[in-house]
Structure formats: C-alpha cells, structure tokens
Amino acid sequence: MNTIKIIDFPIIQDSRGDLSFIENNDHIPFAIKRVYYLYNVPANVSRGGHAHKKLQQVLVAMSGSFDVSLDDGSDKQMVTLNSPAQGLLINHPMWRELKNFSSDAVCVVLASELYTEDDYYRDYDNFLAHVRNA
Ligand code: T46
C-alpha cells in the first residue's frame, strides 16, 4: 500500500492559544468543492465502509479522536487522527472505515467533488474488482 499520507497544517501559537489554517494548493492538493463533518458519533459505531471512484478527501479530527482503517484491495493500514493540525489525505480508491470515535470527536472532511452517490463503491466485491482491474 502507499504509505499513510498525513498533511501537517501550520500552527501559530501564542499566549492566546493555537491557530492553524488550510489553504488550497499549499496544503490541499485539490480544489475544495465541499466540506462536511461527522459529530455526535456513538462510541461503538463505525462510519464509512465504502470507497470512492473519483473523490479525493482530507480528513481532520477538529476535536477528539477516531481511528481510520484504509484498505487499497491488497493491504490494510490503520491510523489514529487526534490533531486539528493534521489531515489524512485519501487521494485514490481506498476502502475506509472510521471507528472508535471519542465522545467529543468532530471529523471534518474536505472533498474534491460535490456529493453524488454514483461516486461510491458500497459493495466490497465491486471495489475489489475495480482495483484489481485498474
Ligand atoms: C466518507 C466518510 C468519512 C449527503 O447528502 N451529502 C454528503 O456530502 C454526504 C457525505 C452524505 N450525504 C448523505 C448520503 C447518506 O444518505 O448522508 C447520508 C449518510 O452518508 P454516508 O452513509 O455515506 O456517511 P458516512 O459517514 O458513512 O461516510 C461519509 C462520506 O459519505 C464518505 O465520503 O469518506 O464520511
């Protein structure tokens, strides 16, 4: 598998606290068309469980923490996101699952496309067939 791609955002610290920022091109390798966020996720549930055809995304734990498992059809890796100053880049078809959300977790997702159900592989076998024929 390609190694997990973590993007470090700038952190400006002073006595008033920390400030981070995210800019197109500098920090995100695509134009952001959509932002969505997951919150109030119960501790024992998972989200995701699908892959995208074209969509590129950056996931940020704006608050709290959660685990992301990534599966490219050959290898699986797990990463814990727990910093608002880091983003996980997913920029090619990857089956993903998000779980172990802390009670205060807010997962913000910066996405390269508007929402369309046509972009989803929600069936794992279809996803495998796609990546193995690619
Ligand atoms: C992903 C993970 C991290 C919309 O109407 N607009 C949207 O922008 C999104 C993302 C979803 N929806 C609708 C589609 C479903 O009826 O909201 C419902 C729940 O979506 P879904 O089951 O896909 O949610 P998650 O949390 O399993 O997955 C989402 C994203 O879909 C996906 O891109 O990577 O968050």
Q: What is the mean pLDDT of residues 110-124?
A: 97
What is the pLDDT at residue 74?
93
| Closest atom of ligand 1 relative to the 98 alpha carbon | 3
Q: Rounded to two decimals, what is the model's pTM?
A: 0.96
Supply the mean pLDDT for the chain: 95
| Residue 16, SS3 per DSSP | coil
Query: Is residue 113 in contact with ligand 1, taking CB distance under 6 Å?
Result: no
Q: What is the mean pLDDT of residues 106-116?
A: 98
Burial of 13 (0-12, 13-18, 19+ CB in 10 A): exposed
Query: Is residue 7 in contact with ligand 1, taking CB distance under 6 Å?
Result: no
Sheet with 95-99: list strands edge to edge. 76-81, 66-71, 95-99, 47-52, 120-121
Q: What is the mean pLDDT of residues 9-20?
A: 98
Q: Tell me, what amino acid is at 93?
A: P
The tens digit of pLDDT for each residue in 34-61 reads 999 999 999 999 999 999 999 999 999 9
Q: What is the mean pLDDT of residues 93-112?
A: 97
Residue with tokens 């069936």: 123
Tokens of 14: 């002073």
- Residue 3 confidence class, pLDDT cut points 50, 70, 90: confident
| Calpha distance 79→55 (Å, rounded) | 20
CA–centroid distance, residue 9 to ligand 1 (Å) = 24
